[in-house]
Amino acid sequence: MTEDERYKQLQNEKQTAINEANQTYDNLLRENTALSNNVNDYLNQYQTTQSGIYDSQLQREQEKADLGKKKAEEEFNKEAIASKNAYYDFANPYGVQRELQVQQGLGNSGYSETVKSQAWTAQQNRTAQARATMNQAKLQFDEDMKDARLNNDVLKAQLALDTLRMKQDETLRNFNYRSDMMQTRLANSQALDSEYNNRYNTIWNQINTENQQKEAIRQFNKNYELQQNQLKQDQNQFDAKMQYQKDRDKVADNQWEKEYALSQQKINNSSSGGSGYYGSLTDTTGINLNDNSQVSTPYYRGTINPDANKYGTFSNGYQPKGISGHGELANTGYTWVMDTAAKYGEDAGKTKTVKQNVWQAQDGTLWYWEGRENKYKQINPNEYNW
């Protein structure tokens, strides 16, 4: 997956998380709005229903008052009719009262008129009293209805006040819920931003680390390739030097064989006299020249250098082609000049100048062959005048 694809995937994951969170909060807010609407609808319905109950109660009181007033009128009418009937019975010239007055001789007397007038007055008073009673009853019913209407208005006002208070409580609850929800939503949004910023930084650090690793691998491979090329060049140079040295060794070996043959001839020629360049080979050392582990030169007689068995020898048969701990040797083409003296033979003790080849071991150190000690000796490059 490329870097852009990883960043794009992270962005998609972030957007998905935001969308899911927004959908959750939107659903909660919609549910809260629906709940608040339901509460308000219920409160409106409650107010309407309760107000209807109050109106029904008022209507019932009105019906009772109307019925009471109607009964009062009926009672008045009954009393009025009864009083009129009583008067008419008293004043009827053919009635019982009239016959009693006639029998008593009072039929056309002043007393009769007076009684008649009194009967009329009593009838009027009775009717008036009945009317007053009816009016009082109606007035009382009207006052009761005023109280009922007032009480109904008070109940409705209290109902409206209670409904308003409950609506205000619901409005406040709805506001607090939405406010808390928006704050929670904001906090969640900030948390998502922080989380995905951290994840972005993690990916950024991972990509940087991967790029650094890739660059380190590239540099390693490049350096390794350069080292391999350098090793090949060094090997080629070493092989060339070795080949050059072999060629030089062949020339040197041929020259040495000639010199050695000449020295052997001198030894043979002088052996009868007991003196010569090398002198006798058997008088003091006891070396068996037929033993390949033994060395006999004008400068050294004894056991061959141990490195000869490990690296082999040049054509002289005793000088090793390498040094333990330093590796094989290659001729540098330079020479080491020193003064030396033979230990054996006719020139024993005589000093002469000798040029020795300068050899380079595989570890880069420089050496020359010291024939008197049958070993290589290291050269300090700072002391060598190239």
Q: Is residue 254 part of a domain?
A: no
Q: Are residues 197 and 296 in the same domain?
A: no
Q: Is residue 267 part of a domain?
A: no
Q: Are residues 7 and 140 in the same domain?
A: yes
Q: Are residues 169 and 294 in the same domain?
A: no
Q: Are residues 199 and 84 in the same domain?
A: yes
Q: Are residues 197 and 278 in the same domain?
A: no
φ and ψ at residue 281, rounded to 5 degrees: -90, -5
Q: Output the pTM of the full model.
A: 0.44
pLDDT digits (tens, 9 = 90+) for 252-282: 666 656 665 665 555 555 443 333 333 333 3
State yes or no: pLDDT of 26 exceeds 80: yes
Q: Are residues 51 and 197 in the same domain?
A: yes
Q: Write down which residue in 159, 182, 204 finishes a domain.
A: 204
State yes or no: pLDDT of 295 exceeds 80: yes
- Under the banding of pLDDT at 50, 70 and 90, the label for residue 249 is low
Q: Are residues 187 and 324 in the same domain?
A: no
State yes or no: pLDDT of 309 exceeds 70: yes
- The count of domains in the chain is 2
Q: Is residue 210 part of a domain?
A: no
Q: Is residue 342 part of a domain?
A: yes
Q: Write down which residue in 189, 204, 219 finishes a domain.
A: 204
Half-sphere exposure (Cβ direction) of 372: Cα atoms closer than 13 Å: 11
Nearest to 74 by CA among 130, 122, 26: 130
Q: Are residues 168 and 311 in the same domain?
A: no
Q: Is residue 120 part of a domain?
A: yes
Q: Are residues 170 and 47 in the same domain?
A: yes
Q: Is residue 235 part of a domain?
A: no
State yes or no: pLDDT of 126 exceeds 60: yes
Q: Write down which residue in 172, 204, 236 finishes a domain.
A: 204
The domain of 336 spans 274-383
For 136, the token pair is 């009082």
Q: Is residue 339 part of a domain?
A: yes
Q: Are residues 309 and 189 in the same domain?
A: no
Q: Is residue 59 part of a domain?
A: yes
pLDDT digits (tens, 9 = 90+) for 185-235: 899 989 989 998 998 899 899 989 989 999 999 998 998 888 888 888 877
